Structure 1
């Protein structure tokens, strides 16, 4: 990636980063989902994978519509978050299923919050660039991610009480 020369370049770079982040998060969430004990959490993670893949499709479409090269730019930020998620959610997991679920929810939310920041920034760039269709689609993704995060928080409260 070369240094951006315009806001449009920053916008495209952000979305390519998000594409890579989503690909990495999808793989991690699938792995984490195999380790959960709570059926509602398992269902939420499976549903989340579909949402992440949907958002990746939106990113590809918007990159192409903006005249960018449709390929991801490796996201080192998500790489670190995924490494931590797998470490704390699987490799160093508690033998107590409820405690492991608590750790998995926390790791899932950390990765989701990275996406919130990126999609929110991309929506702001699209607005300034006068790309109202892109802004709408990116804001919709932010809204969907927030809903998933809120549901994860509710699950976390229930699982934490059960673990206590």
Structure 2
């Protein structure tokens, strides 16, 4: 990939990166959801798979509409986050279900925050380019991710309190 020359190049590069990031996150979430102890967390991770697929479909349609190449560009940032998620969520996952769940939440949120920044930036680029419909769709994705993030934060706080109670009882 060559250096972008225009804001439109930056915009389409961001979309290609997000496509790859989504594909990578979807693959790891499929593995992590099977490790979840809490039924609400398990449901959230499984439901997120559908949301990510929907967001990826939006990316593809925005790339088509922009006249850019409809292909993804491997996202090295998400690659690193995925490696960490697999390490902490699978390979070195705590035995205790509550502890494992808070580790899974942390890994999920790290990957989600990457999406928030990427989709937020892409929305700003789309707005600046006068692509109001693109910006609206991208902002909607950011909103979806924020909602899941807020939910997992609350769930994580609850599970952390449970884990702390277990430690005090021991």
The TM-score normalised by the length of structure 2 is: 0.95
Tell me what 1:140 maps to: 140
**Higher Cα Rg, which structure:** 2
Residue 141 of structure 1 deviates from its aligned partner by 0.3
Q: Distance in 2 between matches of 1:23 and 1:146?
A: 19
Q: Name the count of aligned residue pairs.
A: 164
Q: Distance in 2 between matches of 1:158 and 1:105?
A: 12
Uncovered stretches (5+) of structure 2, i.e. residues with no partner: 165-170
Q: Distance in 1 between matches of 2:48 and 2:161?
A: 23
Tell me what 1:149 maps to: 149
Tell me what 2:50 maps to: 50
Uncovered stretches (5+) of structure 1, i.e. residues with no partner: none
The alignment partner of 2:69 has SS state of coil
Residue 46 of structure 1 deviates from its aligned partner by 0.6
Q: Distance in 1 between matches of 2:141 and 2:49?
A: 13
The TM-score normalised by the length of structure 1 is: 0.99
Residue 2 of structure 1 deviates from its aligned partner by 1.0
Q: Distance in 2 between matches of 1:161 and 1:49?
A: 27
Q: Distance in 2 between matches of 1:123 and 1:130?
A: 11
Tell me what 2:120 maps to: 120
Give the alignment's Cα RMSD to 1 decimal. 0.5
